[in-house]
Structure 1
Amino acid sequence: MRRPQRFSPSPDDARPPSVSGRAGLPAELSAFVGREEELAGIEALLGESRLVTLAGVAGVGKTRCATRIAALMEKRYCDGVRIAGLADVHDPALLDHALAEALGVTDHTGRPPRTALLEYCAERQLLLVIDGFEHLVDACARLVQELLRRAPRLRVLAAGRRPLRVDGEHTFTLAPMTDEDAVALFLLRARAVRPDFRPTGADRETARDLCRRLDGIPLALELAAGRMRALSMEQVLHRLDDRFRLLTGGSRSALPRHRTLRTAVGWSHELCTPEQRLLWARLSVFAGSFDLEAVEYVCGGHGLPAESVLDVLDDLLAQSVVGREDLGAGSRYRLLETVREYGAQWLEAAGDTERMRRRHRDWFLGLATWCELDWFSPRQDRAAARVDAELPNLRRAMECSMESPEDVRLAQYLAGTLWFYWAGCGRLAEGRHWLDQVLDEDGPGYDAGRLKALWVLGYVAVLQGDSTGAVAALLECREAGELSGDLSAVAYAVHRTGCLSLVRDDLPRAEALLREALARYREAGELNSNVLMAQVELAMAVAFGGDLAGAAGICQEVREVCEDHGERWARAYALYVLAYVALEDGLPGRARLMLRECLTVAHAFHDLLGTALSLELMALVTAVEGDAAEAAVLQGAAERIWPSVGLPLFGSAHYGRPRARCAELARTALGGGRYEAQRHAGGRLATEAAVARAVGARTSGGRQGGEASRGPGGGRTDPGADDEVSGPDAAPDARRPAASRRTGRGGPEL
């Protein structure tokens, strides 16, 4: 009897082991663009781990990157590289057969195909690429785990939308393309369908906008480029609101699920459980990033118990539907716009959009309220950072509230509650936009929300230098507050009217109104940062009127209250007034120490008014100490900030006095030409560099980097040559002061 043949190698297997398995790699039909850092990272992981999973959202380019890695690394494996594409394998029972076919394993015995696979791989040095396994993830995980245990020289690169979750697995999440690579890919593919296309500079900007709208997803970019046969780039961009209808007609050689954007994303949707699909749809109500607490409140219930939200969210993270970003405040999550829009369509189809949008709005109304309370506490910086992170969602909440007349009051309340962010964190222009918008809507009379929005509008208008707008809003707020008996609203209106008088140089009226406001605050039982700022502004009026001791006494009281409550923002303004008093008393060194803290805090909160005022007073201190060149530089840096604040009002005689005195001292010491050169050099400094320069300066007479400063080689340095501190006297950490490290943000770009 003939003995059964146990194993018959394929033609590739018959080659000497030193010959790589090139036959297993498909040839590239179009140029590969970008991804240098990603490819290097995947290569490095394959050097450390025997199983690397390349995960990512639909259409992000996992297959193309895996194939590229295989081509780059094939010569490192004596027995070659093989690619097993599993997209067309739907029955888990056929998985072993599919891998055997990819490896060229032919077995004529009655043994299970896995036995032949294990025998084939056992002694081979081989890289196996498994692509598109997500619909067979459980069966594939068991097979890969067994292969790796039985074949010690085997390495596996798996490409799919979720990890295998096998021991020893390293996951590399492939992000969308960078702007530069995305534009390069789009333009290259556009020229392939329109050889006469020669992009101009304007075309490249349009392409950049288009690529950002498409999240830098290569599949979406390829499909959009294909539309260039019939449409201009501007037409493609304008039609992206219906991207799933527009982005169709991919290559016939592509997998069916890659021929349209809808089917590519829909493939991920099909792989989700009902609970995962439900959460995906509900997550679409968020804008920008979001945190777990918000997801649990907004998305929990009605088929998705709140206690299961974390597990379902984790599943969506594993499947690359949701992305994660780790910030200083904790983990946050995000949907790419394409994924979000797909979920929004399912939410609309379920008839649940309006309910979810209201839940979203209610959560962020509560969040804004808590952040306002935290602003008057040691958590002040966290409150600012939280609003910063949640700003897209807060905008969406205001938009939602303005869609129906009965909810306008909520939009007004929300816009007013964010006063500390608009005024204290450098967002005056956006605050003015929202306050004007919500107050233009017809609401149910003068309730507390509308009155709050009115006094906040008046406050913002004062800071912007718009006295007409400020007077109108504050007068309306006071009159309506008196009619309705809202003592707090009246106090705020009186306070901000006094502030307006102060910047208009009407000191007697300012002092009277601010004292009245403080009395009203006491009557209403108010104590917060606004009340402390009323005291600081009263101290300014008193100081400008010549009573330096009285101003110092008021600010010392503010300073003590701030320290008791952990409040830093109002405290910085109190220190500004105390520094002003110290300088007037002939103590520039003491003034400098307080101004350093003022600048650090103001810059940390992106408070442009506090930054500009403190820089100007620091410039005067520097001039008094004898460094006229550096004083001119700092003055120029402050002048660059003022147009973003409201110079028409803050150029008043009293607020402008340090500016005028500094200019007089520096110009006398330097001469007109040198003074102007140094001032213009300071005007070229970025705000962060200017603050670092001022905070890191010597305490008396030392040259920080003015015209007469000398570098390490003895030559003169030009403080305007770049945006960083120069010269041997630069602060050790001048390139990134503590003021810039609160939220990970750099200085404001003006």
Structure 2
Amino acid sequence: MRRTSRSGGSPARPPTTGNLPAELNRFIGRAGELADVEGQLAAARLVTVTGVGGVGKSRLALRVGAGLQDRFADGVWLIELSALRDGHLLWHTVAEALGVTGSGSPQAALERHLADRNALLILDSCEHLVAESARLVSTLLKRCAGLRVLATSRRSLDVEGEQLFPLAPLPAEIAAGPEAGPVSDAVALFTERAAAVQRGFPGDGVRAADIAELCRRLDGIPLALELAASRLRVLSVEQILHRLDDRFRLLTGGSRSALPRHQTLRTAIGWSHELCSPEERLLWSRLSVFAGDFDLDAVEYLCSGDGLHADDVLTVLTELVDQSIVVREESGGRVRYRMLDTVRDYGAQWLREMDDADALRRRHRDWYLGLATWCELDWFGPRQLEVARRIEDELPNVRLALEYCLESPEEAHVGQYLAATLWFYWICCGRLSEGRMWLDRALALDGGQPEPRCKALWVAGHAAVGGGDPVAALGLLHEAERLAESCGDEVALAHTQQILGATALITDDIARGVRLLRSAVERFHAMGELNAMVLLAQVQLGQALAFAGDGEAAVALLQEADEIAQDSGEQWARSYALYVWAHTLWRMGDPGKARELALRALAIKHGFRDVVGMTIVLDLLAPLTAADAPEAAARLQGSAEAGWRSFGAERFGSRHFSEPYEAGAGDARKALGDSRYEAAVAEGRGLGLTAAVSGVLAGSSVPTQPCCGPRPQDDLPQAPAPAGEVPQARRPGQRTL
């Protein structure tokens, strides 16, 4: 499995470990299964570990992956699918896990990224996306010869060449006495988990035979064993054994054709459910509405009322955490919660039986609609990085809210509003491709209300411009313009003119760009509007004037934009002001100041994961570097090329946006010669965009703060919109020019 260079036996690139999480508790048993799966992976390129939910498929796969890290030069990568509800996002999810970013097709990007790599993908929890997972795996294995896949699923993917590994529960036989040898794996697992709950377990009062009997009656299913161990907080092993009789009988009356192990897992979860108080059961069922993890504020809003008082939610949630029904996770001083998939699914069944599922889905949508609205408001100010982190954390739930809106025609207008309100995340934080997908799906529906559709149209147009697709942008923007004029939406009309002006810039129609952008800025001034997009319009006008040859007027506008941004604490639009200012000074013959500004812009863009922004700044840094370090300049161009490839049209197909590249290439090639220049470009291309940006910033004195680092303490306002209502586009407290 080790990949070597084409010229010899040494690895083609330094080893990459991947993204496997560290183990939080000891892995017990499964020595034979580990060896068998490793052996299958040596012989086959796709191995699927199958078995009942809770049997330990994911844990086994992670353990196998950790043991094989030194055999895959390009790493072992975990892709968790449990929180993914929409198969349309599978390619996006895999690309994100591998760090393959951009606004183009994630499928094409992944195929390019993995084409010559020796890597192992662990595709975890495929059962709810079997068809989509099968297509993805089949496509990648056919086109990426060095790739292997280890999947976990309750059923096979049914892909050619697939090797199945059915995973049985842990052995749970009863030992006859000390001479019978070591205890079973099931007993070892239960004992260790019990000792974490009850210090000194098992102690003198617990009989080994009772432990063995408990493990046998739970059929050695790890999830059932861990739930049983958690109950030792309040019950003895003997008491648990006495209670198991009723619980098994309660949940064995289903279909006779159902798999016995499925009934056993259901028994384990049902038994835990029966031991809960009515309030705990109610909260358990309501928590199943979340996708991925969630925070306490969301729980208190969604899950209180009708049998569960808001003041009691924290107490009841604490009980569920204590019983291992809810998992508590802490990062950066913030606590979030999640549920195991099987536990969530069991709660969802009870929610449906209570006929509360649709009402909870609607409340869930309203919460995340309100969150998106407040985050958009907070985007213009000093908390942009916190806002970006917050949406990143909540992305599975935001996606679920969008799905709810798009499932019903009467909710389509809310879906259009929500998809458009998240413009700052799609466009500013490297999510152009996914944003365009949601906007396209929302716009394909007739929402019946012009304002949300109008906003969705100009935001979709903006995303298309950022993706280098002016043809699509023009179609969207012309419809937005007609709709804005017909309904009298002056704000949308100004934004539409702004993005039409940006479209003119990337198509080199500079005179038209100046005219449209000047009109947009004047409209914003007349309305007293000021936010990040309005500030960007001023920056774009400065860029248009610079392209038209009026550098002094451009610099004046950019300096003013920079001052407004610093005064408000805004960073994203400011990064574009710094970039355009640097570009203008480079054209005016001031490379020293231009480089300083470009590096400051790059640091900000790196913090937001702004793929388009990082790419254009690297392009500009190349000619600013070529005189002193031509080889470094060529590498920058190669890395920028990797960025451009991620969203289609290279340098937007624009003569003006290509000027830095042409100048940098000419200087570097002249200094290095063709052969050395091409080799350096290839090296930068192989390094990739993000790694190159990190390297540039590491060699500078400019501080960076990535948007997805540790979560900060924040107090983002969280006021959901009233059910079914779209928040007003005009907000109180807006800044004025």
TM over 0.5: yes
- Secondary structure of 1:527's aligned partner: coil
Equivalent residue, structure 2, for 1:593: 596
Q: 2:506 is matched with which residue: 503, 506, 530?
A: 503
User: Aligned AA for 1:450?
Assistant: R
Deviations 1:661-714 (A, max 9, x none): 00011111111111000000000113332012222447xxxxxxxxxxxxxxxx
CA distance in 1 between counterparts of 2:412 and 2:641 reads 39
- Secondary structure of 2:657's aligned partner: coil
- Secondary structure of 1:564's aligned partner: helix
Q: 1:87–1:132: 8 Å Cα contact kept in structure 2?
A: no
Equivalent residue, structure 2, for 1:619: 622
Tell whether 2:329 aligns with 1:311: no
Asked which structure has the greater CA Rg, the reply is 1
Between 1:375-384 and 1:542-551, the stretch displaced more is 542-551
User: Aligned AA for 2:652?
Assistant: F
User: Aligned AA for 1:481?
Assistant: A
User: Aligned AA for 1:441?
Assistant: L
CA distance in 2 between counterparts of 1:542 and 1:647 reads 23
Tell whether 2:355 aligns with 1:354: no
Tell whether 2:412 aligns with 1:408: yes
The structural deviation recorded for 1:63 is: 4.4
Equivalent residue, structure 2, for 1:277: 281
Q: 1:399 to 1:439 in 2, by over 3 A?
A: same
Q: 1:89 to 1:445 in 2, by over 3 A?
A: same
- Secondary structure of 2:455's aligned partner: helix
CA distance in 2 between counterparts of 1:134 and 1:86 reads 16
- Secondary structure of 2:325's aligned partner: coil
The structural deviation recorded for 1:245 is: 10
CA distance in 2 between counterparts of 1:575 and 1:135 reads 59
Q: 2:234 is matched with which residue: 132, 138, 141?
A: 138
User: Aligned AA for 2:375?
Assistant: C
Equivalent residue, structure 2, for 1:573: 576
CA distance in 1 between counterparts of 2:706 and 2:445 reads 38
- Secondary structure of 1:655's aligned partner: helix
Matches within 5 A, 1:314-333: 314-328=318-332, 330-333=334-337
CA distance in 1 between counterparts of 2:401 and 2:304 reads 18
Q: 2:227–2:324: 8 Å Cα contact kept in structure 1?
A: no
Deviations 1:118-174 (A, max 9, x none): xxxxxxxxxxx9994655643549x99xxxxxxxxxxxxx99xxxxxxxxxxxxxxx
Q: 1:742 to 1:285 in 2, by over 3 A?
A: closer
CA distance in 1 between counterparts of 2:617 and 2:258 reads 53
User: Aligned AA for 1:738?
Assistant: T
Tell whether 2:673 aligns with 1:671: yes
Deviations 1:292-315 (A, max 9, x none): 000000111110111111111111
Q: 1:591 to 1:697 in 2, by over 3 A?
A: farther
Q: 1:248 is matched with which residue: 259, 272, 284?
A: 259
Between 1:377-386 and 1:688-697, the stretch displaced more is 688-697
TM-score normalized with structure 2 length: 0.65
Q: 1:248–1:261: 8 Å Cα contact kept in structure 2?
A: no
The structural deviation recorded for 1:70 is: 11
User: Aligned AA for 1:513?
Assistant: L
Q: 1:603 to 1:676 in 2, by over 3 A?
A: same
User: Aligned AA for 2:597?
Assistant: M
Tell whether 2:380 aligns with 1:380: no
Q: 2:623–2:661: 8 Å Cα contact kept in structure 1?
A: yes
Q: How many residues align?
A: 515
CA distance in 2 between counterparts of 1:450 and 1:37 reads 45
CA distance in 2 between counterparts of 1:246 and 1:439 reads 45
Equivalent residue, structure 2, for 1:370: 374
The structural deviation recorded for 1:336 is: 1.6
Q: 1:504 to 1:293 in 2, by over 3 A?
A: same
Deviations 1:718-750 (A, max 9, x none): xxxxxxxxxxxxx9x9xxx834475259xxxxx
CA distance in 2 between counterparts of 1:642 and 1:131 reads 50
Root-mean-square deviation (Å): 3.6
Q: 1:516 to 1:329 in 2, by over 3 A?
A: farther
The structural deviation recorded for 1:444 is: 1.1
CA distance in 2 between counterparts of 1:287 and 1:541 reads 44
Equivalent residue, structure 2, for 1:656: 658
Gapped regions of structure 2 (runs ≥ 5)? 1-27, 35-58, 64-168, 171-184, 215-224, 242-253, 712-737
Tell whether 2:613 aligns with 1:610: yes
User: Aligned AA for 1:300?
Assistant: S
Matches within 5 A, 1:216-227: none
Q: 1:299 is matched with which residue: 293, 298, 303?
A: 303
Q: 2:189 is matched with which residue: 50, 61, 65?
A: 65
CA distance in 2 between counterparts of 1:518 and 1:329 reads 42
- Secondary structure of 1:324's aligned partner: strand
Tell whether 2:480 aligns with 1:514: no
User: Aligned AA for 1:491?
Assistant: A
Equivalent residue, structure 2, for 1:738: 704
- Secondary structure of 2:337's aligned partner: strand
CA distance in 2 between counterparts of 1:405 and 1:35 reads 43
Between 1:657-666 and 1:591-600, the stretch displaced more is 591-600
CA distance in 2 between counterparts of 1:471 and 1:589 reads 38
User: Aligned AA for 2:566?
Assistant: E
Gapped regions of structure 1 (runs ≥ 5)? 1-26, 39-58, 91-128, 145-157, 160-242, 251-257, 699-730, 746-750
Tell whether 2:467 aligns with 1:464: yes
The structural deviation recorded for 1:449 is: 1.0
The structural deviation recorded for 1:62 is: 7.3
The structural deviation recorded for 1:564 is: 1.2
Q: 2:637 is matched with which residue: 620, 635, 638?
A: 635
Q: 2:419–2:442: 8 Å Cα contact kept in structure 1?
A: yes
CA distance in 1 between counterparts of 2:431 and 2:292 reads 18
- Secondary structure of 1:684's aligned partner: helix
User: Aligned AA for 2:260?
Assistant: G
Q: 1:246 to 1:531 in 2, by over 3 A?
A: farther
CA distance in 2 between counterparts of 1:468 and 1:37 reads 45
CA distance in 2 between counterparts of 1:483 and 1:70 reads 68
Q: 1:244–1:261: 8 Å Cα contact kept in structure 2?
A: no
Equivalent residue, structure 1, for 2:43: none
Matches within 5 A, 1:153-552: 248-250=259-261, 260-328=264-332, 330-446=334-450, 448-552=451-555
CA distance in 2 between counterparts of 1:589 and 1:321 reads 59
CA distance in 1 between counterparts of 2:234 and 2:672 reads 78
CA distance in 1 between counterparts of 2:255 and 2:544 reads 61
Q: 1:63 to 1:431 in 2, by over 3 A?
A: farther
Counting aligned pairs with the same residue, the percent is 46
Q: 1:576 to 1:140 in 2, by over 3 A?
A: same
The structural deviation recorded for 1:536 is: 0.6
Matches within 5 A, 1:76-91: 84=208
User: Aligned AA for 2:682?
Assistant: H
CA distance in 2 between counterparts of 1:323 and 1:246 reads 33
CA distance in 2 between counterparts of 1:690 and 1:603 reads 11
Equivalent residue, structure 1, for 2:5: none
The structural deviation recorded for 1:375 is: 0.8
- Secondary structure of 2:394's aligned partner: helix
Q: 2:385–2:707: 8 Å Cα contact kept in structure 1?
A: no
Q: 1:620–1:661: 8 Å Cα contact kept in structure 2?
A: yes
CA distance in 2 between counterparts of 1:667 and 1:294 reads 56
Deviations 1:441-480 (A, max 9, x none): 122141x211110100111111112222111111111111
Equivalent residue, structure 1, for 2:15: none
Deviations 1:594-633 (A, max 9, x none): 2221111111111111100111111110013x21111000
Q: 1:259 to 1:450 in 2, by over 3 A?
A: closer
CA distance in 1 between counterparts of 2:192 and 2:385 reads 46
Q: 1:553 is matched with which residue: 547, 551, 556?
A: 556
The structural deviation recorded for 1:279 is: 0.4
CA distance in 2 between counterparts of 1:294 and 1:323 reads 16
Q: 1:62 to 1:428 in 2, by over 3 A?
A: farther
